[in-house]
Structure 1
């Protein structure tokens, strides 16, 4: 099966990381995958074994997603957006996929309607015998929207999509809890389990006791600085600390962190083996994005979560609150973050008696490959009937 996988990251890199994990599982299952990416280039994503078509880059103009900018921070004008739309449709025509996966849309990434709706109309106009299966790939917890907005999203699913893959375990979170129109697309919805890293990854040569990470880094400076200030107040002040800033933290912020770090603190922008390092760590300090939480659940290490909650964002807070209620993490609201409070949370997390559900589904990437293979066979049979 030829798969075209569209993914657009605007602020962090979580969407790109999750999509890359799914794409690798599809390749391992024998599918030919091309990822079509439209964000700022990130080294290592997608991995080298995945074919990649890069659209002219777009990013969020700020952390409130108020507009779109090019890779140099300039406002993306109508001509730039038209070039992207045409490049996307041309890529689709060249790939000729049997399956088109669209990451996040229409549940999120409404900023990309200028190119995704024309693409979906292009697909819909194809002869039935040539039209690919169209799939939406979404995380388990969405940013809650109004009932009117959810209804509009459900109608787009009904009009354009054959399947919605929810990358979560329905026993932890169900789509209807953060998407009020879930009942309208129930027949098109399938849960894959969480897209966590491969359990069989080898142990890392390095070992750190405390790992502080900030996802892509664009909105993580306060967490990183507070973690450094909290270090001396914890019982792990002499242990080895690793600070992973993320590729999008500004250079001047990295320099500020480096100037305040002690000998037993290592500061890096990125570690491709972060998920493996977490398995050997005593505690993780991070935001509560999907991928970081998936990494922590696979690693089963102690966890302190400081969810990103600016501009009304609720998704990470919902996830962190649920994990804390399950006894699997300690959560601190971002407006309550202080060195003293974070130090107490780190020590408390290290002493927490955690019981991870043995049946929690974390192999969502491999499950996605199986679901798509099965659904595509049914789709082809229906198409030829």
Structure 2
């Protein structure tokens, strides 16, 4: 089998990790896959058995993206990047991959250039095919012209293929990057990457009681915020709205704080849940899609993977976009979906428990518009990678 090395660096949430894992899961029939994780290990997150996992010393950032945080055992970011560079080169020399896939870079993660450029140089010298794995919308910069010029230079110097995990009929890359036509490598849209459906193994219902059934109480209101480093105002608003809702409608709220939520946030929400028969609070589930399949309403942040779960299941959805660091990615995607009648957009000014409870009731009484999106990103990515390695015509 051909060999593939996939580099993923998540620094705040877990969206990049989830999407990247689904992509490599779809490649295991054709490739021996080594997955390089540069971010924090997520307790309970499952990497497929067939995939070799290499965890680098984890680097993360603060919620405002102001600075990278130095992991334990290192004095500076430069020191840890140098150490990680050597680990990457050692892994490359051992694996001798036919394909190197790098998620997001150079459209983002350029603070990791010190470890990635030596890896790209090594791959180029070896004759390895180099692929950029990119979501549909990229973060814009204050000096966008200079940023796009650097992206073009790096793509044209190193990369053989750019895979955009989106649907151009919905949002083309040009909505956030104007110079797609200046990229010399092959550029293909794969459709959106969605998670595979899995069953709910077990769940807690009503303040910690184990459920023997594989079905959750209904109507189910599912609330989640991805990794949990942000979105705390949304979690607290829903928890407080549960007091208003418990006498108005039959329902149960399942709330996930995310694996990275601060302990004090988790404990505060659990304290509220102890006094509510209609609220359950847990940190994390690897089976969020299965919960969403049974939910009557999903209330969440508007990240790529959660939004894809909404589109996959067709569940009623209320989305709050993340806007830290002036990031417009989630806003652009969710506003477009609201214009199409697919979701209801939440704005920070909406987060008042009494009024928010009314909006929840209103959403439960409406049906979302059904739309067709290209959700074949995993299969099409595998086809495109297979084609470039075997020098075959592209059949997606």
* TM-score normalized with structure 1 length: 0.91
Q: Secondary structure at the match of 2:244?
A: coil
Q: How does 1:1-385 map to 2 (within 5 A)?
A: 1-27=2-28, 29-43=29-43, 44-60=45-61, 62-72=62-72, 76-124=76-124, 126=125, 130-145=126-141, 146-185=144-183, 188-198=186-196, 201-202=198-199, 205-208=214-217, 209-234=220-245, 238-261=250-273, 262-358=276-372, 360-378=373-391
Structure 2 runs not aligned, ≥5 long: 202-213
Q: Secondary structure at the match of 2:302?
A: coil
**1:111 CA drift (Å):** 1.7
**1:30 CA drift (Å):** 2.5
Rate the CA distance shift 1:245–1:48 in 2: closer, same or farther, 3 A: farther
Alpha-carbon distance in structure 2 between the residues aligned to 1:75 and 1:267: 37
Alpha-carbon distance in structure 2 between the residues aligned to 1:30 and 1:69: 37
Once the two structures are overlaid, the 10-residue window that deviates more, 84-93 or 179-188, is 179-188
The root-mean-square deviation of aligned C-alpha atoms, in Å, is 2.1
Alignment size in residue pairs: 372
User: 1:207–1:280: 8 Å Cα contact kept in structure 2?
Assistant: yes
Q: Output one character per residue of 1:25-81: Cα deviation in whole Å (capped at 9) or x when no partner.
A: 111x33211101111111324333321011111111x11222222345986343222
Rate the CA distance shift 1:268–1:73 in 2: closer, same or farther, 3 A: farther
Which residue is 1:383 aligned to? none
**1:238 CA drift (Å):** 4.0
Q: Secondary structure at the match of 2:130?
A: strand
Q: Output one character per residue of 1:172-222: Cα deviation in whole Å (capped at 9) or x when no partner.
A: 1100111111121275211111111225x4577142501000100001211
Rate the CA distance shift 1:51–1:243 in 2: closer, same or farther, 3 A: same
**1:349 CA drift (Å):** 2.4
Rate the CA distance shift 1:68–1:276 in 2: closer, same or farther, 3 A: same
User: 2:342–2:371: 8 Å Cα contact kept in structure 1?
Assistant: no
Structure 1 runs not aligned, ≥5 long: 381-385
User: 1:140–1:173: 8 Å Cα contact kept in structure 2?
Assistant: yes
**1:123 CA drift (Å):** 2.0
Alpha-carbon distance in structure 2 between the residues aligned to 1:375 and 1:317: 34
Alpha-carbon distance in structure 2 between the residues aligned to 1:77 and 1:151: 26
Q: Output one character per residue of 1:292-339: Cα deviation in whole Å (capped at 9) or x when no partner.
A: 001111111000001111231111111110111111100012344322
Alpha-carbon distance in structure 2 between the residues aligned to 1:97 and 1:348: 53
Alpha-carbon distance in structure 2 between the residues aligned to 1:269 and 1:73: 28
